[in-house]
Chains A and B, each alone.
Chain A
Amino acid sequence: MSKPEEKKEVGAVTSIYQEFETWSVNTGDKTIHAKRMPGFFRTFKDYAQLALWLPFFLLPYLRWNGKQAILFDIEHRQFHLFNLTVLPQDIWMLSLVLLVAAMTLFAVTSVASRVWCGYFCFQTAWTDWFTWIEDKIEGNPVARRKLDDAPWDAGKIKKKVSKHLAWMAIALLTGISFSIWFVDAFEYWNSLIHFQLPMIGWVVLAMFFVGTYILAGLLREQTCFWLCPYARIQGTMTDAQTILPTYDYTRGEPRGKLRRGGEVVAQQGDCIDCFQCVQVCPTGVDIRDGQQLGCITCGLCIDACDSIMDKIGKPQGLIRYASLDELEGKPAKKIYQHPRTLVYLSIIVISLAGIVYGLTHMGSMTLSVISERQPLFVSLSDGSIQNKYQFKVLNKTDKDLHVTVSATGGVEGQQLIGAEKPLLTHHGRGTSFTIFVKAPGDKVMKEVTPIEFQVQAVEDTQVAAQYSSKFNGPKR
């Protein structure tokens, strides 16, 4: 753009393409070899990643009352969470859980930008672990770049093979750990080492193995750049009030190489153009270019810059968590002056209330009664009217129970046929049976009479359920 001969050559429309010439887009043609530097955010990231993802690997082995404590049993359509069993009928709560998760992401992003991306996301975490292994095996970034350019010899082959094997081991463990959230962990390992997994098991394992290896080992930050939709969504959720790792250009510019004394130094800003912030960046962006899509806000550049500032005797915080408002010297607003965040928070509260209501009102038995519609009723030889009902009882306890059936409302003198003795309901799944209600014809006053059915367990009278239905009769 700086060249004058170019400026006169292009038309008004095509001048927008000129922007590309100076905007270096990371298209993955060069592998990012980020330097690992100690610091507050490095430590925080390490612990945050482990805190979220170590349970992913370990929790499935936790046993509770002789069963897996947390098991999303898709095959039998049951979710086990310690003492709690969630059946498909209660799965509406899952949508609230997802809503809470989404809104938490939104709220956190609007306050402190891409916290998820920087410290918790599996792409970030796995990539970090993969590059840590790379660092241990192949050496620091300089050595790694040298190794990449070096001709293939025994040493290089050994290093590369051991690195990829280590990656594959993690990828395999990831696939296994994912799978055992859905089937019994110990049975899964047993089937796995005997090569007796079902087809679906092998497919899931293979997909996670290949996916982890490619995403964390080969694609890395390219995933955040070009694959991940959340990167884009979250980019739109930050505003001038959001704090995020920012280069303080008012303090840093004009940047220049560190020199001793002189007039030039007096005009220089605090940035000594050492490129440490770029070197440590796992996505290879230059934070000094301002907020950008590639920045996952992991804070590693803050660590790097602070360590340099310490060395040259300048105050820390040239790169720091700051909002645009702060940087431009506008007065900082309080969080309650941020309506967007408040909306997110209220949705979270409402959803949580819904989940709490759902969990406390789940009941241990549900009843649903479908009345026969063809025919609506049958006239019997003694003139009485009979209705047929299909009962579906869902026994959510862990024992088979016998239930008694009763009815309130309906027609005077009605009789329940089919429940003379308590009926068996199997635990953990639906049991259906047919009940007839027979009522004297001269007592059936209305075409439709409301009737409510109750089922109650003989073994535990607390376990009960009811359902409102209709008793149909002829037109009067």
Chain B
Amino acid sequence: MSEKHDVGGVPTTGHVWDDDLGDFTNQPPKWWMLGLTASAIWVCVYWLYYPSVPVSTGSTFFKGIGGWTAINEMEADKGVVDEVRGKYEAKLKDMTPAAILADGELTEYVTRSGKVLFGDNCAACHGTNGVGTTDKQGLFAPILNDDDWLYGGTVDNIHESISSGRQGMMMAHKDMLSAAEIDTLANAVAAGTPTATPLFAEKGCTACHGEDGKGMAAMGSANLTDKVYRFDGSVEGIKYTIEHGVNAGTPDTRVAVMPSFKAAGKLSDAEMKKLAVYVYKFGGGQADAPVAMEAAPVEAASAVEAAAPAAAQ
């Protein structure tokens, strides 16, 4: 070991590597020691402040002197969200669905915040964004973003459907009509012209589906003249519906049940109103009296030329 390793008179540990490498017994730097001490103190404080030690007897643990819990922190964070939503929710509470729809800002709020509600409560049957779901019998739950509504498409109708529920009803006709008659009727319905066959009136279909075959929103009977079918729109599917009816009490019957969310107690009044507006805004909602604005209210409403359909090709 050469003398130049005795810098500052600091002794080495005495061990020598590779001919001349030694290790000084210097103190670590002061800032480093202070950092180490501070870290050690910090660990103790942290350990005492937060829940730390599970206690083996019973399912308990040392709760920490700070009283921190994850759920409290989550609630506090939720408070921030609730504060933002609060002013809208307070307004919504005492408004009718139609009034909400007339308010551009509230509609915007509902269409943005309603997604979770719809996903949790409606999408299981109606599909995300109301695209409908199918089973082997055809359409299982109605499409909500088209303009065909069994029970009416105003926002109040939709609200009624959500709060009170709906129950389809149609008798099974397989014992009342001959196979030929069912075949004739099914073909007429599939073509969209049920009134073309006299059987439609003779056999009493008009009682529910109306003289013109366009259905009655009050009882939820289907419009048989349009291009949207509640169940299977093929001739075979329509025959099946006529034969077995809807909710007719037989095992083979078609099922169409919308539960009452009011009776189920699952949704609050405000939530049902929000859902009504949300579903309305899928694109198929039908305005009742004065037209509700689609987007933000407009003051200068002079130029309307842009709304004209653009000529294609």
Q: Which residues of A come within 8 Å of B, CB atoms?
A: 6, 9-11, 14, 372, 374-375, 378-383, 386, 388, 402, 404-424, 431, 433-434, 436, 441, 443, 456, 458
Contacts and interface: CB of A to CB of B under 8 A. Distances in A.
Nearest to A404: B306
B298 A402 contact: yes
A441 to B, nearest CB: 8
A405 B301 CA distance: 13
A421 B310 contact: no
B312 A404 contact: no
B228 A406 contact: no
Interface stretch (B38-46, B145-153, B236-244, B256-264): B145-153
B295 A380 contact: no
In this complex, the interface size class of chain B, counting residues with CB under 8 Å from chain A, is: 35 or more
A381 B307 contact: no
Interface in B282-313: 283-284, 293-313
B234 interface: no
Contacts of B145: 375, 378, 388
Contact of A386 (B20, B283, B301): B283
Nearest to B313: A412
Given A422-B300, A434-B281, 18 more contacts: A11-B19, A378-B143, A379-B146, A379-B227, A380-B227, A381-B148, A386-B147, A402-B299, A409-B313, A410-B310, A414-B310, A416-B306, A416-B309, A417-B294, A423-B295, A434-B283, A456-B306, A458-B303
A388 B283 CA distance: 8
Nearest to A391: B295
Contacts of A381: 146-148, 223, 226-228
B110 to A, nearest CB: 13
A73 B301 CA distance: 34
Nearest to A456: B306
B219 interface: no
Interface string B82-94: 0000000000000
A388 to B, nearest CB: 6
A423 B303 contact: no
B137 interface: no
B125 interface: no
Most buried by B among A6, A419, A441: A419
Given A381-B146, A422-B300, A375 B131 contact: yes
Contacts of B59: none
Interface in B11-27: 18-20
Contacts of B227: 379-383, 441
Nearest to A414: B309
A421 B300 CA distance: 9
Contacts of B310: 406-410, 414, 416
Contacts of A388: 145, 283
Contacts of B311: 412
A301 B293 CA distance: 76
Contacts of A413: 309, 312
B128 interface: yes
A458 B306 CA distance: 10
Most buried by A among B128, B296, B312: B312
Nearest to A372: B129
B301 A422 contact: yes
B2 interface: yes
Contact of B307 (A382, A408, A421): A421
